[in-house]
Amino acid sequence: MRHLSFIIAILLITNQEAFSQTDTMAGKKGLMFSFSGLNLGGGVGGKYWCPNGYALRAQINGNYMKRIGQSYESDMVSLSLGIEKHIDVSSELSPYCGASLAFSRTSDLDIYYNKLISYAVNVYGFVGVELWIHKSISLSGEQGLLLTHSTSENKQSTLYLRTSTSSLTLMVYF
């Protein structure tokens, strides 16, 4: 936890002069394909580069999980909007930090075949690294913290903070 806080602090304190090459990315758009965890999670979305190393992103995510040996299933769909701040996008490796806001719907089926639907608002803070493998294709990985406020059909409300699932993203720019 301290390491993540330290990395975020370094990224935010970094000198603005490090972004002298970012104007070459400004105005670029891309398709985003993300994969997270081993439980069939991922999403599709888009990214738009702004001046000074900032990028805006929007994404639709889904997740399906079934526990082997148990009668438990869960599926989730969410819509998220976020912003990234990149460091040195002129190189092949571009570290970044950011935040996003997501709205999600989760459906759980327990061992007694009771279905419970819940809705959540998620605030996600993350750090990541984008690796350019071609001028129009990149791979990135990120890890972050997730703050969630969830309300279920039976009026139960929960608030929790946890680390998020690591994700791998393929970007195709045009």
Over the stretch 95-135, which tens digit does the pLDDT of each residue have? 999 999 999 998 887 767 777 888 999 999 999 999 988 88
Which residue segment(s) compose the domain that 87 sits in?
2-15+32-173
Q: Specify the number of domains making up the chain.
A: 1
Residues 59-99: tens digit of each pLDDT: 999 888 776 666 677 888 999 999 999 987 566 888 999 99
Q: Domain for residue 85, yes or no?
A: yes
| Residue 14, pLDDT score | 46
Q: Domain for residue 138, yes or no?
A: yes
CA distances 105 to 58, 78, 141, Å, are 17, 6, 25
Going by pLDDT thresholds of 50, 70 and 90, the confidence category of residue 20 is very low
Q: Domain for residue 109, yes or no?
A: yes
Q: Domain for residue 27, yes or no?
A: no
pTM of the model: 0.78
Q: Domain for residue 23, yes or no?
A: no
Q: Domain for residue 26, yes or no?
A: no
Of 7, 62, 1, 4, the C-alpha closest to 37 is 62
Q: Domain for residue 168, yes or no?
A: yes
Q: Domain for residue 126, yes or no?
A: yes
Residue 118 neighbours by CB under 8 Å, 6+ apart: 105, 106, 108, 150, 151, 152, 153
For residue 10, the domain's CATH number is: 2.40.160.20
